[in-house]
Structure 1
């Protein structure tokens, strides 16, 4: 107890010292001759750089970039009359975390909606909705999400859960994975969904044995609701970006890869509107506080290519144009991830293929030929195999180059698939936090044996030559890099005494790199972020741990401070 009190006192002291920097030091550093704007001294700096210099104890920052990193003796000559020196008393400093897969604006919107993440019972579920309904006028939409039916035993919510508590307000609540949602009867009536409505290609309207819709819509069937739901105003989306950015830096995230809306079936134009109406607005108003690498829907590849030809890949230090993204299958939780074998609890179901492979191949060939990075969502083992086969064809037809194909999620892999990632240096963009839900549900969905040989094979992917890039998939899971690193190392969901598939656990170093330098490599930004190296942006986080031994044996759950371009962004 005394040791914990001492640690807390030290943490508070460091936080206070950081927060009480003179305003000029915290907010607007500018180069002054050859001297540094700020020097971090007596720190435990993890550089994420080459193995020859994994750690340093001092760093100099000038003009928003790392000027020098090394020993204090090597940087003290850069201290001038206006240089602010911050003595960290041994506190651990890491490169700013990179979240490799987020839906940033959706995450910001979700922060202001019905919060259903972690809800464990039907009563708690309906109570959360009731609280919001009370403050709404008749006819206003009730929106929210984050529910996970596996937490309360597997039964899906239905319209009947919602009709009595919201008879005058249409309700739409998305599942945590974004591939399914539940509507109340009023919302379905507005959307024109009844027993005569056909399932769209790549989607499912769940029905009773009498053929009546239950309220559950999966994948592209959700478009029925999206077409009629109250449109979110530009002002709301702008506020959501700012809210989401504040949430990210609070968790130590300084760069995100934003893959657009996380709902399959939303229009491509929505992503482009977010780019022009929200991101470009934030940039013009100097309101960007984190870096964003943007991916656009693959059908609009020529538009992305033209934009890059006109402006280059980086519109500024804040906004980077990454490439294009597509979906191949759904998710495990909604039983729509595409597998070679059927679902254990649904023997006739192999999952959903949401796009024709000839169509996907042709679009990928054109995108790749124009120099765009390609990222494709695949969760089931068959979907991943189909993508790996397709990537072979693209390389054969378009030639060898540094293209860094990305498979988003790569959750379940058939035997031998992990080794295939290394053939073309394919990026495995994975989300350790999803283990928290899938460790309990995968055995029910696909059986214990299949789950244990195929699920979240992080170590096998590294051994096969893949680059791992960690992300959260926020708002599917919360942005929390320190928690993701802990999960990748332990693979122990709450309540578990033993790891889930212990052979796939990662080391601390591999996990840190997956959230820093490897994540930067995965989006072609490793020349400017991802490590604390000379010339790169001075994006870093300060942790409460006061030594590397303390940090590595007991990862903290929070950051003390986050800096972006050498400026304090949090607190």
Structure 2
């Protein structure tokens, strides 16, 4: 009589031929049953030692076997959940290498302006929201981008609208609308009044209040100038109780977790949260309510970090769902709002080279704190000047601490580089934390900002960076872009715009490179390559099953792929309908 393992295997009609199965089972030593088995699929492991299999077994949160259907069959016991993949692709869970976790949740609560076609649509959405809002209630939104509208706003200053129509749509409710990049804000008259902004208000260091030819604020706030609006909003919330603030953050965490998991993201690298937000992350994780795994970069002042870093460092906490071991800093702005810090002036604004949003000396001090406390340093740098200054800071810190060999410091974005600085990434061992979809999303305005020569030489140069020896990781920068990995993967392997044109296609990633950038490379960028990023025995059972094989289908079919299963720690957290 067949043992229980074999009886269960017999019930899987396609698992193996009936003639072979009894012999296979009889000859196998007994193993402890798995809690989950995926069979009859294409398992792409991103493990060079065993690149592919047909089936995978997990016991608890750990992978115990990858191989043929026959090799994995002995792991099936009476209580094992068996998922017949029916030929579908299973890959390591996507690791979003750079995003803003609570921002993903916030984007689902505030006005979503990512799809608006022009300024008139923005104004109409705000007018509708104002009619529903309570007296004095702040109206917030995010996602607009003036270079992606079907018509230019009139009147305009530097291509941005002016606030008059927005102020008329919401005369009594303050309005703040964050740019798609997150590096500029637009305000109505009421919000500017509450922020104390007039034509005489000076530009803060690292920011700009855009003004019209008569010196009146237009409503556009670049980079650190947005903090004036944030301060007014914070003042309006001073009456909130601590538990109300925490409940709001918890709601954002819940919404972000649900959305990311539904799209196949099993780990998320959060690019900058305060100590207070991290406290909420800890509570949610301790309650077992964090579905994906969260890697957090602290974003706070040097003064606060100097006293708190030691107490907040955490690796694989709360059942390996929360890690806090990195610091986030921002040295410049974004290209879309002309805040990226350049070596030479903008081609479409010759009077400007962008903005240095945080003094170099401040970032240098942060580097010392990071080294002293065993933290990874992750610096946002988009323009070529910003990248050069960041690499200089890193190089000086490495030379001053020769005993610290594996720090894996990162440049977040690394979007536009000088030819002279590209080799330095590999030479210094600096990780380029990039976002494939930024290339195709930004390509509509990059040539205007940089000109053709600079665009070709140094914009989104993934192949050049990889050839320098640098590790390139991938992510979405959500909510700047959708947290969905599929459009990002498509952008990484095609560099194709909506109109069918391609942006310097020689820098495209192969599909294998793109998958690795989103899995094993992203794990490496967080010191987690020994536990995740590939489907290998002993690693965490974080797996995604897709409806289409994005590694082999015609490239236009990639966009149609959907997530059928998201598995974190051997548990199915999302199952597509």
Match of 2:557 in 1: 554
| Contact map agreement 1:67 1:534 (CA 8 A) in 2 | yes
Match of 1:37 in 2: 35
Shift of 1:548: 5.7
Shift of 1:547: 9.1
3-state DSSP class of the match of 2:209? strand
How many angstroms apart in 2 are the aligned matches of 1:372 and 1:492? Answer: 37
Match of 2:347 in 1: 344
1:22-42: per-residue Cα shift (whole Å, max 9, x none)?
Answer: xxxxxxxxxx98211121111
Of the three residues 269, 272, 276, the one matched with 1:257 is 269
1:476-513: per-residue Cα shift (whole Å, max 9, x none)?
Answer: 1111111111101110110133x111110110000001
Matched, 1:96 2:93: yes
Of the three residues 152, 159, 165, the one matched with 1:161 is 165
| Structure 2: tracts of 5 or more residues without a match | 1-29, 153-158, 238-243
Matched, 1:328 2:292: no
| Contact map agreement 1:472 1:479 (CA 8 A) in 2 | yes
Matched, 1:115 2:115: no
How many angstroms apart in 1 are the aligned matches of 2:125 and 2:556? Answer: 38
Shift of 1:161: 2.7
How many angstroms apart in 1 are the aligned matches of 2:62 and 2:346? Answer: 51
1:248-295: per-residue Cα shift (whole Å, max 9, x none)?
Answer: 01110010001135xxxxxxxxx111111x212212322111110000
Match of 2:368 in 1: 365
3-state DSSP class of the match of 2:357? coil
Shift of 1:456: 0.3
Matched, 1:287 2:289: yes
Q: Output the aligned Cα RMSD.
A: 1.9
Match of 1:56 in 2: 53
Matched, 1:393 2:396: yes
Q: 1:212 to 1:547 in 2, by over 3 A?
A: closer
- 1:85-484 superposed matches below 5 A: 85-152=82-149, 155-229=159-233, 230-231=236-237, 233-260=245-272, 271-276=274-279, 278-297=280-299, 299=302, 300-303=304-307, 305-307=309-311, 312=315, 314-399=317-402, 400-484=404-488
| Contact map agreement 2:57 2:63 (CA 8 A) in 1 | yes
| Contact map agreement 1:296 1:304 (CA 8 A) in 2 | no
Matched, 1:522 2:520: no
How many angstroms apart in 2 are the aligned matches of 1:539 and 1:216? Answer: 43
TM-score by length of 2: 0.88
How many angstroms apart in 1 are the aligned matches of 2:396 and 2:186? Answer: 39
Shift of 1:320: 0.5
Match of 1:76 in 2: 73
Q: Which moved more, 1:85-94 or 1:501-510?
A: 85-94
Q: 1:547 to 1:91 in 2, by over 3 A?
A: farther
| Contact map agreement 2:315 2:325 (CA 8 A) in 1 | no
How many angstroms apart in 2 are the aligned matches of 1:326 and 1:381? Answer: 16
| Contact map agreement 1:301 1:324 (CA 8 A) in 2 | no
Shift of 1:357: 1.9
1:366-399: per-residue Cα shift (whole Å, max 9, x none)?
Answer: 3123211000010001111111122211111011
How many angstroms apart in 1 are the aligned matches of 2:92 and 2:326? Answer: 24
Shift of 1:416: 3.0
How many angstroms apart in 2 are the aligned matches of 1:33 and 1:314? Answer: 30
Match of 2:505 in 1: 502
Count residues in correspondence. 527
1:380-432: per-residue Cα shift (whole Å, max 9, x none)?
Answer: 01111111122211111011510101000000011132211011221111111
| Structure 1: tracts of 5 or more residues without a match | 1-31, 262-270
Relative contact order: is structure 1 or structure 2 higher (C-alpha 8 Å, sep ≥ 6)? 1
| Contact map agreement 2:440 2:503 (CA 8 A) in 1 | no
Higher Rg: 2
